[in-house]
Every structure is written in structure tokens, then in C-alpha cells.
Structure 1
Amino acid sequence: MGAAVDVQSGQVVFTVLMKAFVFPKLLMQTHFNENYVESEKYPKATFSGHLVAFEAAVLAGPGPQAVPVEGDLTIHGVTRRVRVPGTLARQGNYLLVNTKFAVAPADYNIEIPALVRGHVAKSVDVTVALTCAPLAP
């Protein structure tokens, strides 16, 4: 996984390998990679966007600061514009960016076989916790 935040502009980019997603049960993880997101064909999820109304001064504040994140999320070869809540905090020379949001597999053309459709959630909670060095001082 790779991630970067530009503290001057608020630009955020990250890439994560689909096989890096962790599930409570190994069988769920196997089905996710082989049958649903086709990790061999679509090995990465990417995000490119920005922290909404970002001001570098927010980094001087105590603790995590609420900052919405907006941009293009690409999963399974499909790119969609998203806006999700997030938090941003500075820890030494590193930035901590966190968000939690729901993704509907259908929005990314991820087909769930009819046989198991009733057992698979219509939306999946995604938690992103990035620790990255700032691109600019």
C-alpha cells in the first residue's frame, strides 16, 4: 500500500492491494479475492482526491481534526466520485488520515453469485487508516 498527503494543497492519494483486505474468516477472504473482486485481474484499489476546505493550520490543532475527503475511488476497474467523513492529525512528521465508509459492490460492477447473494451484505464497511509522511513541509 502507498499513500501520500500534500499538506499545502490537501491532495490525498493512496493505493491498496485488493489482497490486503482482511476478513474475519479466511474463506470470506478467498471468495472476495477469487470470485467477487477478481484480484488477479484488478489487483489494486486507488483513491485520488483532496481534503475538502483544507487549511494547513488545521495540523497545528490538538488531536484529530474532522476533515471531509472527496475524490475518485477506483475498484474493480470502475471509478466513482465519493465524499466521505475523515479525520486528520499530525504525529511528529507523519500525518494520520482516517475514514470509515460503506461501499456497495454493485456500484463497482462486482457481481455476487445468486447462490450466495442473500448471505453477502449489500454494502461493505471500509476502514482506511493511513500513516504517511507529508509531501511538503
Structure 2
Amino acid sequence: MDARTQMLTVTCDQNADLKRLRKLELAGLVELWCVSIEELKNTRRIAKGRKEPPIIVIGSPHSTWGNAMVASADTPYSELEEIIGRQNHADVLHLERHIESGRDVFATSDKDFLAHRATLESRFSIQIRTVEELVRDLDI
């Protein structure tokens, strides 16, 4: 692995291989973050301070007043919804928080993201990687 002045910050999607990501974190290679969506409780191994609420979307089953944050009108939510699809609401919430946070990598194995990777990476200047690709990129 090349010398780094700081470790990569990684937003992990709900279906990413959390076990492998935690090993990378324990080795000091990445810092894991997640979006804490109400019905998706599989993030218990992520440090408490690194669980962010999604933005509030009126009518959303995933972001309620008690577990979400109000965001400005200029978030990329609507544009993400057009690219990823309205039916993938939770996915849109996850990626919106990643983009707004400015973290380095969005780790996922979700085909909804991977199918639109080139468009999303180009439009929002982000990196979307599978865990396998992240491990390869870290050269470990």
C-alpha cells in the first residue's frame, strides 16, 4: 500500500460486506461511516459517532422526524432519484448523505448503484467501489 497522510473515509451501503470492511477498519486502513435508516438496523458494528441520519423526505418510510435531518433544497436528492430510480428510495438516501459528507468511497455490492456507477461518479465526482475493488485499490 502506498504511504497515506490520512486514512480513507468509507460510507458503507447496507449490503456491503461489513465483516471485510470492519477488518480494514481494524487494520487502520479505512474509517467506516453509515447512514442510519430506521428500518435498516444492520449497522450496529459501526461506531456510534459515525452513524448519520438521512435527510428528511416528506412521505418517506425511511426518514422520520426522529431519525432524520432537515437538509437544504440544493441537495442532489432529486437528481439521484432520476438516475437510480424513485423505487430505490433508501438507496437514494444513502448516496445523498455520502455525497454531502464528502467522504472518499461509497462501498456497495448493490446492482442499482453499480449499474449507474459511471454516471454517478462522473456527475457527482465520487468513487463507488465494491469491497473487493476497495481491497484491490488499497493494494493489500
Which bin holds the TM-score, normalised by the shorter protein? Answer: under 0.3
TM-score (norm 2): 0.27
Structure with the greater relative contact order (CA < 8 A, sep ≥ 6): 1 or 2?
2
Higher fraction of strand:
1
